[in-house]
A and B are shown apart, each in its own frame.
Chain A
Amino acid sequence: MEYADGAPSPAIAPALLPGSDVVRPKSRLRGAEWQLVVPLGLFYFVFLLAPLIVLALVSLFKDRSFSELSLVQYADFFSERLNLVILFDTLRLGLITTIVCLVLAFPLALAYFRVGRRLKPLLMFFIILPQLTSAVVRTFAWIVILGREGIIDRSLLALGLAPAGLLYTTSGVVLALTQIQLPLMTLPLIAGLARIDESLLEASQSLGAGAWRTFFKVTLPLTLPAVIAGSLLVFTTSISAFVTQSIIGGGRLTYMPKYIYDLAMGAQNWPFAAAAVMVLLATVLIAVTAFNRVGQASLRRIEG
């Protein structure tokens, strides 16, 4: 072999000596890879960043003639009680859905590791099923389930109980959103649970901690990054779930996305609609920052 006599073959050396001089020609080519961000960067500049900047600018005008700058849209938004109620309801909906998803996704993810090898693919199929079926279709199914002629109310009537009347209520919206968002919480949790060192759980149990204590003291803290990641996705997608909110909520419940749509297309009040969008965006940004803070703190705790 060539390298045996002290002269490394340039062909083999890179694999043997990463970081040596011979690697340089290749890494120069590798260094050019960053240019591959340019196409998507340009595309997103025109169709994502520019539209959001336009929204921000439009929200700063007094009326549709775009002649006078002012903050009147924001003053109007925050001085009208109705707007604040809609904003609050939207955030509350996101929070409740996130909690319900967490409570259901954890048992589901734990169950995934308990079922036998042959059942696993089937369970995974059921878990990702809602993520892959059309939102309009899923929402339509919930009308059939929740409506006055629906499965739940007719079963309750058959049992001699009062109908629940869940359609057009917050509980109905939460239930329909839970189905759609559950995969977003369950998949990160399964990935997070798979990374836990089994011996930690065994140690906890053998030191006398029961199943509940082991879950809250070992399993939950170790999967906290996955919990945060899942919660962030569920929260942000729930507050902007236009289809579910508008159909299951109906005319009786109004949330920010439908409200913005009505303002923009119905009333054609673009500056005010744009201001409402900016308020919603700001809320999402605050939520993201808060989730990231908690996530980083929890990561430090695990690693530290």
Chain B
Amino acid sequence: MRDSDQRSFDAVLWILAGLALVILTLPTLVVFLTSFTSGESLRFPPSGLSWRWYIELLDSDDLQDMALRSLKIAAAATGLAAILGASAALALCRNRRPWARAVDAFFMSPLIVPWIAIGLGILLLTSLAGLPLSIWTLIAGHTVVCTPFVLRTTIASLSQIDPALLQASTSLGASPFYGFRRVTLPLIAPGVAAGSFLAFIASFDNVPISLFLADARSPVLPIRLWQMIQADLDPRVASISAVIVAFTLLLMLVMERIAGLSRQLTR
């Protein structure tokens, strides 16, 4: 009786886990395979194999401009998020006072507040203040939603630090700043890096904020892709998607090597 109980549990467990794995990985696989289609439409399996849509990409100056602009915005937003997020984490991580808990909840709120509300809110604020939209308002909007990623991973890695290490550094005569630079900083660096990686993707990929704040004269890549997918499924969507996925995978492997990305995310 107990054997059959265990067996049915295991069967359900592995079937559902297998289904979950298919759902997790199938889309990425599909992006890669469809991008090599030689046909005019996107279908799976592709009607023939070719580099056609990649070559097409090399000739698409508009898409390249947008990609470059999105990369620049993501780099700026990630830099700001890393500085603002990591310093706030240093202030909050060991502080158990009620005001610190409240500030922590407020700082993390962009993870649950719908981004569309933040985008529309910033748009209304700037237009009521009579300011024009610019790349700076866009970067500011992205930074708002990117910072919690850095804050979360940095707080997680700070809370893992043994306080004795810092006490040892101070008791051996190190100044607090020296202790921070030589003890705290190296220990939290992987956490900051992992959070920055998530922040970078959240910005590079962002639609809801950019939709409100991107200036029509300087379009960004995700918005254009979003429009292309809705309009007529231009096959270049597949090749550019494959390039983005390949780029992210590469970055992900590098991050796993230098920062132990998966360990940072399960803390």
Give me the interface of A with B, judged by CB distance under 8 Å.
11-15, 18, 26, 29-30, 33-37, 39-41, 43-44, 47-52, 54-55, 58, 103-108, 110-111, 121, 124-145, 149-151, 175, 178-179, 182-183, 186-187, 190-191, 194, 208, 210-212, 215, 232-233, 236-237, 239-240, 242-243, 246-247, 256-257, 260-261, 264-265, 270, 273-274, 277, 280-281, 284, 288
> Beyond A137-B244, A236-B112, A242-B208, is A145–B88 a contact (Cβ under 8 Å)?
no
Type the 1/0 row for B14-47, where 1 means its CB is closer than 8 Å to any CB of A. Answer: 1111011101111110110010000001111000
Residues of A within 8 Å of B113, CB to CB, are 52, 281, 284
Residues of B within 8 Å of A139, CB to CB, are 229
The secondary-structure label for the interface of chain A is: helix
Q: Is the CB of A145 within 8 A of B27?
A: yes
Q: Is the CB of A43 within 8 A of B25?
A: no
Answer whether residue B245 sits at the interface, using C-beta atoms and an 8 A cutoff. yes
Residues of A within 8 Å of B204, CB to CB, are 134
B14, B125, B261: which has the most chain A beta carbons within 10 Å? B125
> Beyond A130-B24, A132-B248, is A47–B140 a contact (Cβ under 8 Å)?
yes
> Beyond A37-B92, A54-B125, is A215–B43 a contact (Cβ under 8 Å)?
no
How many whole Å from B244's CB to the nearest CB in chain A?
Answer: 5
> Beyond A141-B31, A144-B43, A150-B44, is A47–B262 a contact (Cβ under 8 Å)?
no
A134, A142, A211: which has the most chain B beta carbons within 10 Å? A134
Q: Is the CB of A187 within 8 A of B265?
A: yes
29 contacts between A and B (CB under 8 A): A11-B172, A13-B171, A18-B167, A35-B91, A40-B107, A48-B144, A51-B121, A51-B125, A124-B266, A126-B24, A127-B24, A130-B28, A132-B248, A134-B222, A136-B222, A136-B241, A137-B245, A138-B28, A140-B225, A175-B23, A182-B23, A211-B8, A233-B111, A236-B111, A240-B116, A257-B208, A273-B120, A274-B124, A277-B114
Residues of A within 8 Å of B14, CB to CB, are 107, 111
Residues of A within 8 Å of B96, CB to CB, are none
Q: Which residues of chain B from 28 to 80 have any CB-CB distance to chain A below 8 Å in the complex?
A: 28, 30-31, 34, 41-44
Q: Is the CB of B19 within 8 A of A104?
A: yes
Q: Is the CB of A39 within 8 A of B208?
A: no
Residues of B within 8 Å of A105, CB to CB, are 20
Q: Is the CB of B266 within 8 A of A190?
A: yes
Measured CA separation A51–B145 after assembly (Å): 13
Answer whether residue B217 sits at the interface, using C-beta atoms and an 8 A cutoff. no
Q: Is the CB of A14 within 8 A of B167?
A: yes
Name B5's contact: one of A47, A48, A212, A260 (CB within 8 Å): A212
Answer whether residue B183 sits at the interface, using C-beta atoms and an 8 A cutoff. no
> Beyond A105-B20, A242-B207, is A43–B112 a contact (Cβ under 8 Å)?
no
Give me the interface of B with A, judged by CB distance under 8 Å.
1-2, 5-6, 8-10, 12-17, 19-21, 23-28, 30-31, 34, 41-44, 83-85, 87-88, 90-92, 95, 100, 103, 106-107, 109-118, 120-125, 128, 140-141, 143-144, 147, 151, 164, 167-168, 170-173, 176, 197-198, 201, 204-205, 207-208, 211-212, 222, 225-226, 229-230, 233, 237-238, 241, 244-245, 248, 252, 256, 261-262, 265-267
Measured CA separation A129–B168 after assembly (Å): 40
Q: Is the CB of A48 within 8 A of B110?
A: yes
A40, A58, A182: which has the most chain B beta carbons within 10 Å? A40
> Beyond A129-B24, A136-B207, is A47–B143 a contact (Cβ under 8 Å)?
yes
How many whole Å from A172's CB to the nearest CB in chain B?
Answer: 13
Closest A residue to B122 using CB positions: A51
Measured CA separation A34–B41 after assembly (Å): 57
Q: Is the CB of A137 within 8 A of B31?
A: yes
Residues of B within 8 Å of A133, CB to CB, are 28, 201, 244-245, 248
